[in-house]
Amino acid sequence: MAIRDRLILWYSGLLAIIIVMFGTTLFGVTRWVLVNSVDNTLVQTANQVVANSQAFLIPQFGTPSLRFSLPELDVFRASGVVVQVWEISGSPESPHYRLAGESSNISAYGEPLDARALSTLDPRLFQAPNAPAINVYTNVQFEGDNWRVLTRPIMVWDDRRIVIQTATPFEAVNQASSGLLILMIVSMALALVGSIALGMGLSNRALSPINTITEAAAKIASSNDLKTRLEWNGPMDELGRLTSVFNQMMGRLEHLFSVQQRFVADVSHELRTPLTAIRGHLDLIKRYGMDPMSMDAIESEVDRMSRMVNDLLLLAKADYGGLKLEVKPIDLDTVISEVYREARVLAKDSDLKVMIKDFEPVRVSGDSDRLKQLFLNLISNAIKFTPAGGQITINLRKTSTHAVVEVQDTGIGIAPDDLERIFDRFYQADSSRVRDARKGEGAGLGLSIAKWLAEAHGGNISAESELGAGTTFKVSIPHLERSTAQVTVAAVTRPRLNVIRRGNSASQQTKDE
Evaluate whether 148 touches 139 at the Cβ level (below 8 Å). Answer: yes
Average pLDDT over residues 361-390: 90
Q: What is the pLDDT, as a whole number, of residue 486?
A: 41
Evaluate whether 325 touches 368 at the Cβ level (below 8 Å). Answer: no
- Tell me the β-bridge partners of 160: 156
**Alpha carbon separation from 447 to 195, 301, 425 (Å, rounded):** 66, 21, 8
Reported as a single tens digit per residue, the pLDDT across 423-482 is 877 666 654 444 444 444 555 678 888 898 899 899 999 999 888 889 999 999 999 876
Q: Which of 91-100, 148-157, 316-325, 503-512 has the lowest mean pLDDT?
A: 503-512
Q: Tell me the range of 91-105, 114-128, 475-489 where mean pLDDT is highest.
A: 114-128
For the chain, what is the largest distance between any 2 Cα atoms, rounded to a whole number of angstroms? 163
Reported as a single tens digit per residue, the pLDDT across 270-312 is 677 778 888 888 888 888 888 888 888 888 888 877 877 777 7
Examine the pLDDT at 334 and tell me if it is beyond 90.
yes
Average pLDDT over residues 97-125: 81
Reported as a single tens digit per residue, the pLDDT across 152-188 is 898 877 677 888 888 888 888 888 888 888 988 888 8
Examine the pLDDT at 499 and tell me if it is beyond 60.
no
Average pLDDT over residues 317-322: 69
Q: What percent of the chain has pLDDT over 90?
A: 14
| pTM metric for this prediction | 0.46
Q: What is the pLDDT, as a whole number, of residue 67?
A: 59
**Alpha carbon separation from 356 to 127, 384, 392, 396, 508 (Å, rounded):** 122, 19, 9, 8, 9
Q: What is the pLDDT, as a whole number, of residue 79?
A: 62
DSSP code, position 127: B
Average pLDDT over residues 98-103: 79
Q: Which of 118-127, 221-230, 331-340 has the lowest mean pLDDT?
A: 221-230
d(CA 488, CA 325): 29
Examine the pLDDT at 502 and tell me if it is beyond 70.
no
Examine the pLDDT at 140 and tell me if it is beyond 60.
yes
Reported as a single tens digit per residue, the pLDDT across 342-367 is 888 888 878 889 999 999 999 999 99
Q: What is the pLDDT, as a whole number, of residue 320?
A: 65
Phi, psi values for residue 438, rounded to 5°? -65, -40
Helix (H) or strand (E) holding 54: strand 54-58
- 56 pLDDT band, cuts 50/70/90, is low
- 407 pLDDT band, cuts 50/70/90, is very high
Angle between helices 332-346 and 368-384 (to 10 degrees): 40
- 120 pLDDT band, cuts 50/70/90, is confident
d(CA 133, CA 481): 97
Reported as a single tens digit per residue, the pLDDT across 227-250 is 777 777 777 877 788 888 888 888
Burial per residue of 324-345, b for 16 or more beta-carbon CB atoms within 10 angstroms, e otherwise: eeeeeebbbbbbbbbbbeebbe
Number of neighbours of residue 306 by Cβ within 10 angstroms: 10
Q: Tell me the range of 183-187, 203-207, 335-339 where mean pLDDT is highest.
A: 335-339
